[in-house]
Amino acid sequence: MFDSLNISASALTATRLRMDVTSSNIANASTTRGKIVDGKWEPYRRKMVEMEPRMKSFNQVLQGEMDKQARSESNLQGVRVTGIVDDQTPFKIVYDPTHPDADTDGYVRLPNVDLSKEMVDMLAASRAYEANVTSFNTGKSIMLKALEIGR
């Protein structure tokens, strides 16, 4: 009965993390000193959230089949975040000899964050969040109506 709410809740959590990571990317779009690698500063590297469907375990599916209760149910149980990974696209290189992080030739390595791509990703995540809130509220109202029928 609560599967629909749990699925929407897992999607809300994952989408909120996706919006947080996108916000971090936007905030660090011009950070030339993100972390130290081999004793040198490396620019901030764009981060991405990886998600996958959350499935029932083998034991749960087997037990359901043995009990003959889960024949029509889905094995899907929402979504889960598998990790936050760095985007491996190359850094942007700009000629600016006055920049404090310029190399000996005057070139500066800038983060691989594309603001337009991040804004589109933020908009998509925001719409997904809104859709899941609507789904959650619909499931909740259906359950409340079902309880009212029982009175």
Q: 83-137, pLDDT tens digit by residue?
A: 999 999 999 999 999 999 999 999 999 999 999 999 999 999 999 999 999 999 9
Per-residue confidence (pLDDT) for residue 70, from 0 to 100: 45
Helix (H, G, I), strand (E, B) or coil at 35: strand
| Per-residue pLDDT at 22 | 97
Q: Could you give the CA distance from residue 71 to residue 57 in angstroms, rounded to a whole number?
A: 15
Q: What is the pLDDT of residue 17?
A: 96
pLDDT digits (tens, 9 = 90+) for 34-58: 888 888 899 999 999 999 888 766 7
The residues, ordered by sequence, that sit 6+ positions from 133 with a Cβ below 8 Å of its Cβ are 8, 12
pLDDT for res 54? 82
DSSP string, 39-105: TEEE----EEEEEEEEE--HHHHHHHHHHT--SSS-SEEEEEEEEEEE--SPPEEEE-TTSTT--TT
Q: Where are the domains of the chain?
A: 3-29+47-86+113-149
